[in-house]
Amino acid sequence: MCHTDEYTRSGLDPEGVFPSILGHEGGGVVESIGEGVTEFAIGDHVIPLYIPQCRKCKYCKSTKTNLCQSVRPTQGRGLMPDQTARFKIVSTGESVFHFMGCSTFSQYTVLPEVSLVKINKEAPLDKVCLLGCGITTGYGAVINTLKVEAGASVLVIGLGGVGLAAIMGASKVGATRIIGVDINAGKFERAMQFGATDVINPLDKEKYGSKMLPEIIFDLTEGVGVDYSIECVGTPFTMKQAFECTKPNGGCSCVIGVAASGQFLELDAKELYAREWTGSAFGGAKSKDDVPKYVDEYMKGEIKVDEFITHHFPLSEIMHSFEAMHKGECIRAIIDLWAD
């Protein structure tokens, strides 16, 4: 269960098509294969990839992006590459659209070969399914996009699953100061467990008075700012604040959160001098190459996965997972598709 599912379910996604089967974080077992499929066999354990990797298009061959374009024109319209939908409402025959090329809120789904990756069969699918989006997104932003170095200072705004994964990545590479920011103080203990050295609620007036987040951060860093900031909320306001918290000379801010269509932000152009601003999708991961590596890292105990899971729901109670998300209680919920 991911916030992106809720974004589309809510009707705010301008590219959302209905009716559709949501879900894009998942793990499963290959039940059958179509004509011409050579990469998979029945019984393989796999993770669906909402960002595929064909290894042939100019984007896959580029070292600067991971946004494979092989199925983009049809995936964005809720269709398979052959421009068909493989789901139907039995009673009416009406087509049901695919979601992000995955549609994992279903006991059975159909994906193109480029949108699936084989993983270690020993890995528990009800855990490593989370590597299909949120964990890879935050962890990869540190490892692949920013390439954070040992000894660096890192600010993470938004302590949901993606933010915690970014903190985990920063801790793994040896960042010495990792500052977590959220307006829900209930998330602070978990952030510290993942590696945060400091936690801040910028709305805590008793502690910070009327100071805005950039001023709080510069006070905390003795007027220097942070080497890297990572924005995991998805609003122009937090994006701007994340950028303004970085070092004026050599700082870099990475946007992960996705703002709603049509939103804009304003920034004094002078602030861009000697700073960098970048974005990251799926943690910059080349999906077929990197997801199996992250599964193996988990199996070796090198990265956390279990610790992200706060809730379990059977498919029949999936709406409760959205409610838990809205209450700020849920980091990641696992939807058991086969539970009674």
Active site residue 35: no
pLDDT, position 139: 98
Q: What is the pLDDT of residues 323-337, one digit of tens each?
A: 998 888 899 999 999
Q: Which of 8, 68, 129, 190 is catalytic?
A: 68
pLDDT tens for each residue of 141-161: 999 999 999 999 999 999 999
Q: Mean of the pLDDT values across residues 54-71?
A: 97
Note the pLDDT of residue 339.
83
Is 245 annotated in the active site? no
For the segment 275-285, the average pLDDT, to the nearest whole number, is: 97
Based on the residue annotation, tell me whether 129 is a catalytic residue of this protein.
Answer: no
pLDDT at 175: 98
Q: How many helices and strands in the chain, by DSSP H and E?
A: 12, 13
pLDDT digits (tens, 9 = 90+) for 35-58: 999 999 999 999 999 999 999 999
Q: What pLDDT does residue 318 have?
A: 94
From 9, 57, 74, 197, active-site residue: 57
Q: What is the arithmetic mean of pLDDT over 309-322? A: 94
Residue 308: alpha-carbon gap to chain centroid: 12
260-272: average pLDDT: 87
254 catalytically annotated: no
Which of 8, 104, 129, 133 is the catalytic position? Answer: 133
Contact between 18 and 96 under an 8 Å Cβ cutoff? The reply is: no
pTM: 0.95
Active-site entry in 3, 45, 98, 190 = 3
Does 102 participate in catalysis according to the annotation?
Answer: no
- The whole-chain average pLDDT of the chain stands at 95
> Where do the DSSP E strands lie in 38-176?
45-48, 87-88, 95-96, 116-118, 153-157
> For position 26, what pLDDT does the model report?
97
Residues 94-152 pLDDT 10s: 999 999 999 999 999 999 999 999 999 999 999 999 999 999 999 999 999 999 999 99
Residue 177 falls in the annotated catalytic set: no
Residues 184-241: pLDDT tens digits?
Answer: 999 999 999 999 999 999 999 999 999 999 999 999 999 999 999 999 999 999 999 9
Residue of higher predicted confidence among 262 and 245: 245
Crossing angle for the helix pair 213-220 and 236-244, nearest 10 degrees? 30
- 3-class state of residue 174 by DSSP: coil
Rounded distance between C-alpha atoms, residue 127 and residue 34, angstroms:
27
* Residue 64, amino acid: K
68 is catalytic: yes
Q: Which residues pair with 209 in a beta bridge?
A: none
Look at residue 340 in the predicted model and tell me its pLDDT: 67
Q: What's the average model confidence in pLDDT over 254-282?
A: 91
Q: How confident is the model over 244-269, as a mean pLDDT?
A: 92
Enumerate domains of the chain plus CATH numbers: 3-132+305-336 (3.90.180.10), 135-283 (3.40.50.720)
- Annotation marks residue 57 as catalytic: yes
Supply the pLDDT for residue 199: 98
* pLDDT single digits (tens) 6-37: 888 888 777 889 999 999 999 999 999 999 99
As a 3-state breakdown, the chain gives helix, strand, coil percent values, each rounded to 5, of 35, 15, 50
